[in-house]
Amino acid sequence: MILNEKFIKQHTGLKNIRIVESCVSTFDEIGKNDVIIAMRQSLGRGRGDHSFFCPYGGIYMVMRVQGLYIDAHTLTPAVGLAVHDTIFTMLGLRTQLKWVNDVMLDGKKTVGILCKSPRKAEYLVGIGINYSTAPDEFERAGLAEVATTLGAPESRASAFVTGLINRIKRATLATFDNVRYGALCINIGKTVEFTHNGTRVKGFAEQVAPDGSLIVRIGNATISVDAGEVSVLRNAE
């Protein structure tokens, strides 16, 4: 895959963009750049201590955001909406969102999002996209049941990245649309399981709040979940 650095800079207004064929982790390589993009990572990072599978054919990007104008807690879901919209606009594919940092296609993960704040008022938005990844990569890694590819044409990759960067920029300046996020979220209306105060509990996911948290009903009470792994129970009673 070849990304046109000049085109991306021209149409995003960002001057410090670095594109590499491969690296260990884009989070380690961003340095003072506005954006770094790799087509492969040897040690991709997921949430917590999770790793992220990063074979060739993906778009692995970290974008620096400074002077955030929205509630920092809504950054990850707002980026999720930006990714969803870019995929639909550029590729015509309808994805869904899994709270709080996954984008799903046909029930399988195709994008992972990880946001970090290395210092006050500065955020690093990490996005791993299975853009044109060969399906057999997931089969070899034993991930074919849970991960998939967009199967997108490499010829559109530069335009795709450009559109994504611009949508993320706009998302950081607008109010988080929790209603639209909730409509696209596969957790809503389902029984979910998560850790609360050190204990695994089950509840019914009702909505995504304006602050980006997931509202879960447990009996007669509701809990606002703002972090952690939330699993959808497929065969819950």
In a domain, 91, yes or no: yes
CB count within 10 Å of CB 219 equals 7
Would the pLDDT of 8 be above 60? Answer: yes
Q: Which has more confidence, 162 or 141?
A: 162
Q: Could you report the per-residue pLDDT of 196-212, keeping only the tens digit for each?
A: 888 899 999 999 999 99
In a domain, 120, yes or no: yes
Averaged pLDDT for residues 45-66:
80
What band does 131 get if pLDDT is binned at 50, 70 and 90?
very high
Tell me which residue range forms the domain holding 105.
Answer: 5-177
pLDDT at 68: 77
Distance CA 165, CA 8 (A): 9
Residue type, 93: L
Give phi and psi for 41, each to the nearest 5: -130, 145
What band does 54 get if pLDDT is binned at 50, 70 and 90?
confident
Domain termination residue (choose one: 177, 195, 219): 177
Q: Provide the domain count of the chain.
A: 2
Q: Are residues 103 and 147 in the same domain?
A: yes
Averaged pLDDT for residues 208-217:
96
Poorest-confidence range of 3-12, 37-46, 89-98, 207-216?
A: 37-46
Q: Are residues 196 and 137 in the same domain?
A: no
Q: Are residues 212 and 149 in the same domain?
A: no
pLDDT at 237: 44
Lookup: tokens for 92? 């015509």
Q: Are residues 171 and 68 in the same domain?
A: yes
pLDDT at 46: 59
Cβ 171 vs Cβ 178: under 8 Å: no
Q: Are residues 85 and 172 in the same domain?
A: yes
pLDDT at 72: 86
Residue with tokens 């969102």: 97
Mean residue pLDDT of the chain comes to 92
What band does 71 get if pLDDT is binned at 50, 70 and 90?
confident
In a domain, 113, yes or no: yes
In a domain, 47, yes or no: yes
Averaged pLDDT for residues 65-89:
92
Would the pLDDT of 234 be above 80? Answer: no
